[in-house]
Amino acid sequence: MVKYPSGSLAAFRKPVTKKEEHQVRRSYHHKKGVNFSDRGMTLEQQINESNKYYLMEEIAVVHKKPTPIQIVKVDYPKRSKAVIREAYFRQASTTDYNGVYQGYYLDFEAKETRNKTNFPLKNFHEHQIFHLDECLKQQGICFTIIRFASLERYFVTPASFVIQAWRKKDKSSMSLKEIEDHSFEIKSGFRPTLPYLEAVDKFIADRKR
């Protein structure tokens, strides 16, 4: 009779195949009412993950715009590794994201704040406001996704309202109440992480009326 050390029988178990592992993963479900989607994620990460989902499912093609920079100095501490030591912006960037959905051009900015009662308008730059206004003139669907990080609330706010508020000389912020009244609130989820196209559907429906 062969005696095995305690626990060593696990080493003789049949290895799990890739197919079996996939079935196990698919059979797992989060507990009802528990949302793990936005833990530790920035707004940008949430949008990027959502865009990957929309692209994979052939729902929409939306990408983050690259920031145009001019590299001035690069060091090579190792042959396989380069380190940028000095660079500058070649020109002011416009907005964060653009793409196409159901034949409509989308252009939008992503902003977040830890304020609980208002969103400071200084977070928008003049060239961003100008760009959104120009896109609206070409019938683009333009908006801002605003995250109140302390409240974990998300709003898809039409660019027209943001532009109007930004251009008021005596106005330094948009109150939470104003944003609630002029935006579509969305909830973070699993797939997609941030379903902002739900709000875009409403923009499209309003345009067709």
Q: Which has the minimum average pLDDT: 18-22, 83-87, 131-135, 173-177? A: 18-22
105 near 138, Cβ under 8 Å? yes
Kindly tell me the sign of the dihedral angle through the C-alpha atoms of 201, 204, 206, 209. negative
Provide, rounded to the nearest whole percent, the portion of the chain with pLDDT above 90.
62
The reported pLDDT for the residue numbered 77 is 72
46 near 38, Cβ under 8 Å? yes
Does residue 157 lie within any of the structural domains? yes
Q: Residue 84: which H helix or E strand, with range? A: strand 81-89
Beta bridge partner(s), residue 62: 99
The predicted model gives 165-189 an average pLDDT of: 96
pLDDT band at 185 (very low <50, low <70, confident <90, very high): very high
| Domain at 176, CATH number | 3.40.1350.10
SS3 161: helix
With CA atoms as reference, report the closest residue to 94 among 108, 115, 74, 79.
108
The dihedrals phi and psi of 19, each to the nearest 5 degrees, come to -65, -45
43 near 110, Cβ under 8 Å? yes
Tell me the two tokens of residue 15: 């290895």
The predicted model gives 164-182 an average pLDDT of: 96
Domain span at residue 155 reads: 39-208
Does residue 197 lie within any of the structural domains? yes
Query: Does residue 203 have a pLDDT over 50?
Result: yes
Does residue 121 lie within any of the structural domains? yes
| Angle, CA of 50, 155 and 183, to the nearest 5° | 130
Does residue 12 lie within any of the structural domains? no
Does residue 2 lie within any of the structural domains? no
Provide, rounded to the nearest whole percent, the portion of the chain with pLDDT above 70.
70
DSSP state of 59: S
Does residue 15 lie within any of the structural domains? no
Q: Residue 132: which H helix or E strand, with range? A: helix 126-137
pLDDT band at 86 (very low <50, low <70, confident <90, very high): low
208 near 104, Cβ under 8 Å? no
Neighbours of 35 (CB within 10 A): 13
Does residue 6 lie within any of the structural domains? no
The reported pLDDT for the residue numbered 84 is 60
Which tens digits make up the pLDDT trace of 95-122? 889 999 999 999 999 999 999 999 999 9
Does residue 71 lie within any of the structural domains? yes
Is the pLDDT higher at 188 or at 68?
188
Distance CA 171, CA 156 (A): 20
**Number of domains forming the structure of the chain:** 1
Query: Does residue 36 have a pLDDT over 50?
Result: no
